[in-house]
Amino acid sequence: MVKHVKIAATAMAVCLSMSALAACSSKSDSSESGGSASASKPSISVSVFDRGTVSSEEGTYESNRWTKWINENSPTKVDWVPVPRNEAQTKLNTLIASGSAPDLIWEYSRDYIVQLANQGAIQPIDEYLDKYSTSYKAYLESHSELLPYLKIDGKMYAVASERGIDSVANHGMWIRKDWLDKLGLDAPATVEELLEVARKFQTEDPDGNGKDDTVPIVFNYNFPGILQAFFQANSTQWYAEGEGVQLGRLLDRYEDYLSLHKQLFDEKLIDQEYITDSNYTRAMQNWTTGKAGILFGSWNMESQYRDLVANVPDAEMVPLESLETKYGKNGLYQEAPPGIYVAFNSDMKEDEIEAAFKFLDWLIDGGWEPLKQGEEGVHYQDVNGVPQTIDADKFKTEAGYAYEYAIVNQSAPQPEWFPIMAASDEVSQAYAKQKAASLETAMKNTYRRDIAYAPGMAELTQLMATFDPIAQQIEAKVVTGGPGMTPAKGMEELRSEWKRLGGDTINQQVNKWYAENKDQLTTK
Amino acid sequence: MSGTKSELAAFATDRDEVIVRRQSRWKRVAQDRSLYVMLLPVIAFYLLFKYAPMGGEIIAFKNYRFVDGILGSDWVGLKHFRLLFQSPDFWRVLRNTLLLNVYSLVLGFPAPILLALMLNEVRKELFKRVIQNLLYIPHFISWAVLGGILIAVLSPSTGVVNFVLERVFGLEPIYFMASSAWWPAAYTVSSIWREAGWGTILYLAAMAAVDPQLYEAAKIDGAGKLRQIWHITLPGIRSTIAILLILRMGSMMDVGLEQTLSLQNSSVLDVADVISTYVYRIGLQNMNYSYSTALGLFQSLIGLILVVGVNRVIRLIGERGLW
């Protein structure tokens, strides 16, 4: 195995260095085949994230029980090309540059797919979809909200299926219900109430240890995003304002976000050293040791729940719904509907594209089900339509990795499934209940997203990459800078820096792009 | 090579003589052919992995796209360099990079020399070994971990440094890591902390090569410890210092990405945003390969100029340089 990798690496290195002299475009067909399918079947290659979860008894990402199962049952033979998860884009770029990329290339990031399209590495597929696809085409017709995301400059460059709601929901907030009850408070529903509750948590010793040592609010990297969502002003998102679009960071509403963030800091309702707590270890420590009352993070925070209950058995960690401001109530950040984006290598010939669509049709028709759930009676049993895992360890080793292969699927777990799917011990069941409630809470309010995605023009990404660190620093100074640095002054600086970097021209370009593409950008 | 050639030209009055010399040289090569054969893979390695990829530098002058390949992409002349020098934030990033490097050169370069001098004077072998090992340890710890330790140690509420400042000197706590004035200092100290101990190895080896008779002679002449260090040890390791200084100059345009990312935070970006983080953001995250290659080429060019310049200076003051 190691030897294999070494040979492959050497081949790659040689190939790369040769490409310095002449573009190396020989297509390597040496990838191991994953089964003994009949030779008459057409074959394609597809990338797959290597998360290192295939055990050695199971085989490899290229060849295991599921790749064999796919090759026996699908109309197309598939060779899987693993790319390490944590450097997927780099590895894919290398494969593409050396001409040995797989036929189907997929990633979670739409921006990446846009870049591939700009690089000419993938091809538009509109005509082939009509010509060769049946089931996926029908799926797309009934899920037309996916379409704006799949198109780049009016042409369709990728296929995708809809996320289940458990992966649409993202940001979330949690609160200690036992603290609320102890102090006779209701869960906050507005931003003002949040401040009230946080102040009481700070001064009235909710953990009852007689010491003034509670941190009312702790958070992870989602914190600014959650505060910004209250005011419908996500820093990197474009909002339809009046006739055109404006960057969230430059909106008047953004000043409200800065004021709230500053107020939380000035009143010491958040950690005074949050700036250097870049891994959020201090914050999570405060939460799990029962020193904090409100947690801004994700809707699903199982390990924090388990650690907290282990340390403070009486703790009741319950989800908290998004808060109302003078602008109304906005949901917390949710993902856009498409799951992974599957794109077609520009080297693909028409017959290969046909084979690829056959495979995708087969997957979306039901081929995905065993890949997500395992084999019925072996890995799961059907409990009133809910796939209940029989043996968690067996599932994990034998089927836990297979979901990677279901690149399009119709998996849609529901909140009420969680208690049935969870293990039967007390903590797992208690958390499953909260998890279900949290998912419902997270999906209760829709998250404001006026246009499907930001434009991919190079000038804009360049400007954003330059502007972002400057803006971050201004914001940090506003929050931690005391009375000398007001949010209004911060906004002034943000706007003048944006101008200095040539933001006005970019604004015009983005608005022109918006006017031209308006009809395919609307998300509803 | 060129030296022998010009010698040959100067001395060869007769054509035949030159031919004879050439033949004898081939004879020598033939004699040592097995040695030369063993050299071949190394030459091939350098050609293939060090020189051939340099051809790829041409994408700095092209608009590189995957599909077109390195040779097929369009030429754009100096467009990427123009973009680079016109970008208002390139100069900020360049200044930060150079400043951090100057700090670590001025403070960080002498640190291992001082440490090595002190270690060299330790006579208790066990003590010396223990200290040496303790000094080497940080070198083997990743920046992610060291960064966490540094942030904890310098924390205004729970850090030991501020505890001492407050209790002993009665000062207000300072938030070192979030202050644009203090951050470069913390950065430099962290580099010294991690690398100074490791850096002593070469100097200690050079000191071991100094002739012990010199010390004895100096002692007889009545030189004290400091005099011995000044007149014998330091001159003894002068050439090592010179070489290491030249090599250090080659990396004046680099700042470690890992170290910067683990120490920086949003309130110090005006001093902590450096070339490597800039390239990471603009080049790799946005697939701007030509642009980041142009930047890399610029970096290498400045590095080369510095190395050549310092090498010249070192030779002028009578030391042996790299060449």
Give the range of the structural domain holding residue B312, as residue numbers without chain letter. Answer: 79-316
Q: What is the pLDDT of residue A524?
A: 53
Question: Inter-chain contact B88–A97, Cβ cutoff 8 Å?
Answer: no
Tell me, yes or no, whether A160 and A298 share the same domain: no
Residue B72: list chain A partners with CB under 8 A. 23
Domain assignment present for residue B99? The answer is: yes
Q: How close B19 comes to chain A (CA, Å)?
A: 37
Tell me, yes or no, whether B106 and B7 share the same domain: no
Tell me, yes or no, whether B101 and B158 share the same domain: yes
Contacts of A58 (CB under 8 A, 6+ apart): A64, A65, A397, A398, A401
**Mean per-residue pLDDT over chain B, rounded:** 87
Question: Inter-chain contact B287–A119, Cβ cutoff 8 Å?
Answer: yes
Domain assignment present for residue A413? The answer is: no
Q: What is the pLDDT of residue A523?
A: 64
B72: confidence class by pLDDT, cuts 50, 70, 90: confident
Of A392, A407, A434, the position where a domain reaches its end is: A392
Tell me, yes or no, whether B134 and B229 share the same domain: yes
Q: What is the pLDDT of residues A462-501, one digit of tens each?
A: 788 889 889 999 999 999 998 989 999 999 999 999 999 8
ipTM above 0.90, yes or no: no
The pLDDT of residue A282 is above 80: yes
Residue with more model confidence, B86 or B8:
B86
Query: Residue A51 class from Cβ within 10 Å (0-12 exposed, 13-18 middle, 19+ buried)?
Result: middle
Tell me, yes or no, whether A320 and A277 share the same domain: yes
Question: Inter-chain contact B269–A469, Cβ cutoff 8 Å?
Answer: yes
Lowest pLDDT segment from A50-54, B47-51, B70-74, B94-98 = B70-74
Q: What is the pLDDT of residue B13?
A: 54
Domain assignment present for residue B146? The answer is: yes
Tell me, yes or no, whether B152 and B222 share the same domain: yes
Domain assignment present for residue A193? The answer is: yes
Lowest pLDDT segment from A9-18, A192-201, A436-445 = A9-18
Tell me, yes or no, whether A239 and A271 share the same domain: yes
Token pair of B139 as six digits: 């070198």
Q: How close A119 comes to chain B (CA, Å)?
A: 5
Which of A352, A350, A338 lies closest to A102, judged by CA? A352
Domain assignment present for residue B72? The answer is: no
Tell me, yes or no, whether B28 and B120 share the same domain: no
Domain assignment present for residue A417? The answer is: no
Beta strands in A186-243 (DSSP E): 215-219, 238-241
Tally C-beta pairs within 8 A across A and B. Answer: 112
Q: What is the pLDDT of residue A407?
A: 95
Residue B161: list chain A partners with CB under 8 A. none
Domain assignment present for residue A85? The answer is: yes
Of A373, A392, A411, the position where a domain reaches its end is: A392
Q: What is the pLDDT of residue A28?
A: 40
The pLDDT of residue A6 is above 60: no
Q: What is the mean pLDDT of residues A48-57?
A: 91
Say how many domains are in chain A. 2
Tell me, yes or no, whether A160 and A252 share the same domain: no
Of A352, A377, A392, the position where a domain reaches its end is: A392
Residue A18: list chain B partners with CB under 8 A. 52
Tell me, yes or no, whether A294 and A222 share the same domain: yes
Tell me, yes or no, whether B141 and B56 share the same domain: no
Q: What is the pLDDT of residue B284?
A: 66
User: Which amino acid makes up residue B15?
Assistant: R
Q: What is the pLDDT of residues A148-191, one digit of tens each?
A: 899 988 899 999 999 999 989 999 999 999 999 999 999 999 99
A60: confidence class by pLDDT, cuts 50, 70, 90: very high
Q: What is the pLDDT of residues B213-266, one digit of tens each?
A: 999 999 999 988 899 999 999 999 998 999 999 988 888 888 888 899 899 998
Tell me, yes or no, whether B125 and B264 share the same domain: yes
Domain assignment present for residue A71? The answer is: yes
Q: What is the pLDDT of residue A27?
A: 39
Domain assignment present for residue B35? The answer is: yes
Instruction: Work out the percent of chain A whose per-residue pLDDT is above 70.
Output: 92
Residue A19: list chain B partners with CB under 8 A. 56, 69-70
Domain assignment present for residue B65? The answer is: no
Lowest pLDDT segment from A253-267, B10-24, B147-161, B260-274 = B10-24
Domain assignment present for residue B140? The answer is: yes
Domain assignment present for residue A295? The answer is: yes
Domain assignment present for residue B68? The answer is: no
Of B67, B71, B285, the CB nearest to A346: B67
Tell me, yes or no, whether A275 and A137 share the same domain: no
Residue A15: list chain B partners with CB under 8 A. none
Of B32, B60, B88, the position where a domain reaches its end is: B60
Tell me, yes or no, whether A244 and A122 share the same domain: no
Domain assignment present for residue A22? The answer is: no
CB atoms within 10 A of CB B75: 9
The pLDDT of residue A3 is above 80: no
A13: confidence class by pLDDT, cuts 50, 70, 90: very low
The pLDDT of residue A193 is above 50: yes
Token pair of B86 as six digits: 């016109």
Q: Could you give the CA distance from residue A284 to residue A149 in angstroms, rounded to a whole number?
A: 35
Residue with more model confidence, A356 or A520:
A356
Tell me, yes or no, whether B279 and B233 share the same domain: yes
Which of A494, A441, A502, A513 lies closest to A233, judged by CA? A494
Q: What is the pLDDT of residue A115?
A: 87
CATH number at residue A272: 3.40.190.10
Question: Inter-chain contact B266–A465, Cβ cutoff 8 Å?
Answer: no
CB A54 within 8 A of CB A351: no
Q: Find the closest chain B residue to A499 by CA distance.
A: B88
Tell me, yes or no, whether B272 and B145 share the same domain: yes
Of B70, B88, B177, the CB nearest to A276: B177
Of A23, A272, A480, the CB nearest to B267: A480
Give the range of the structural domain holding residue A351, as residue numbers without chain letter. Answer: 31-165+338-392
Q: What is the pLDDT of residue A341?
A: 96
B65 part of contact set with chain A, CB < 8 Å:
yes
Tell me, yes or no, whether B184 and B300 share the same domain: yes
Q: What is the pLDDT of residue A248?
A: 96
Interface test with A, best of B51, B59, B67 (most A CBs within 10 A): B67
Domain assignment present for residue A456? The answer is: yes
Tell me, yes or no, whether A104 and A238 share the same domain: no
The pLDDT of residue B276 is above 80: yes
Find residue A244's DSSP bridge partners: A241
Window 146-165 of B, Cβ < 8 Å to A: 148, 151, 155-157
Q: What is the pLDDT of residue A84?
A: 92
B286 part of contact set with chain A, CB < 8 Å:
yes
Q: How close A475 comes to chain B (CA, Å)?
A: 8
- The DSSP bridge pattern shows strands A77-84 and A151-152 to be unpaired
Tell me, yes or no, whether A41 and A160 share the same domain: yes
Q: What is the mean pLDDT of residues B152-179?
A: 92
Residue B66: list chain A partners with CB under 8 A. 93, 96-97, 116, 119-121
Lowest pLDDT segment from A80-89, A390-399, B65-74, B177-186 = B65-74
Q: What is the mean pLDDT of residues A438-454?
A: 93
**Mean per-residue pLDDT over chain A, rounded:** 89
Tell me, yes or no, whether A353 and A372 share the same domain: yes
A15: confidence class by pLDDT, cuts 50, 70, 90: very low
Q: What is the mean pLDDT of residues A62-76?
A: 95
Q: What is the pLDDT of residues B109-125, one digit of tens each?
A: 999 999 999 999 998 99
Tell me, yes or no, whether A147 and A212 share the same domain: no
Tell me, yes or no, whether B109 and B43 share the same domain: no
CA quadruple A116, A118, A119, A125: dihedral sign: positive
Q: What is the mean pLDDT of residues A105-114?
A: 92
Q: What is the pLDDT of residue A387?
A: 86
Q: Could you give the CA distance from residue B256 to residue B265 in angstroms, rounded to a whole number?
A: 16
Which of A301, A274, A331 lies closest to A448, judged by CA? A331
* pTM (predicted TM-score): 0.81
Q: What is the pLDDT of residues A293-334, one digit of tens each?
A: 999 999 999 999 999 999 999 999 999 999 999 999 999 999
Tell me, yes or no, whether B169 and B297 share the same domain: yes
The pLDDT of residue A144 is above 50: yes
Say how many domains are in chain B. 2
B235 part of contact set with chain A, CB < 8 Å:
no
Tell me, yes or no, whether A145 and A88 share the same domain: yes
Instruction: Work out the percent of chain A whose per-residue pLDDT is above 90.
Output: 69
Domain assignment present for residue B323? The answer is: no
Q: What is the pLDDT of residue A39?
A: 56
Q: How close B129 comes to chain A (CA, Å)?
A: 36
CB A176 within 8 A of CB A294: yes
